[in-house]
Amino acid sequence: MEQFVEFMGNFGPLGLAIHSFLDAIIFPIPAFFTQVSLSMLNPNNAIWLATLGFFACLLGTPIGYLIGKVFGTGILTRFVKPELTNKATNYFKEKGSIAILIGAFTPIPFKVFTILSGVMKYPLWQLMAYAAIGRATKFYVVGVLFYLFDRAAATMVDSVSLYIFITVVPVIVIFLLVRKWLRKRKERKALALQQGNEQEAEM
């Protein structure tokens, strides 16, 4: 992994863009490592690097989705560890939106979620929306830390990312659950009203 990160770092921002793009499709090493490595070399460019990595990741997301939609589970079983695939699949079966959002923050390779979204025919626009939220947070936290604290940010990145995960993610998850509950409540009311109208019409 260190050799690969060093290799990509030789290409500078272009290396990060390529790594981020592949990270959303099929590559097993997160682009986080290349971003940190390049940000340490030039902290003044950290925000630009975060922006580049973020958009490259978004460009790769629909391709990972298409791979999952066309080729199915065979891709996952070949390139991703079974325990990671099973974990992500269980998330998806329970709550797709929350699974993608959490996946954007966790160490689980994000390609698992892009490919799974295609396999399970999850709406692409929702995948892009939740990927944008999670990946933007992850990339820009690193970028802002290096921009503000220079190379000292290298010791802060992991702990700050953890704090964001245990604070921001639960808030968003609660919001999604409440929205889903309100939507179901509205549907039940509409159904009850429809049934009431049908009974009145029969009378």
Tokens for 189? 């009311």
* Single-letter code of the amino acid located at 137: T
pLDDT digits (tens, 9 = 90+) for 148-182: 888 777 777 766 555 565 556 666 667 667 777 78
**Based on the number of CB atoms within 10 Å of its own CB, is 95 exposed (0-12), middle (13-18) or buried (19 or more)?**
middle
pTM: 0.68
Tokens for 72? 């199915």
pLDDT digits (tens, 9 = 90+) for 6-62: 777 778 889 889 988 988 887 777 788 888 889 888 888 889 999 999 999 899 989
Strand, helix or coil at 82? Answer: helix
Where exactly are the structural domains of the chain? 2-202
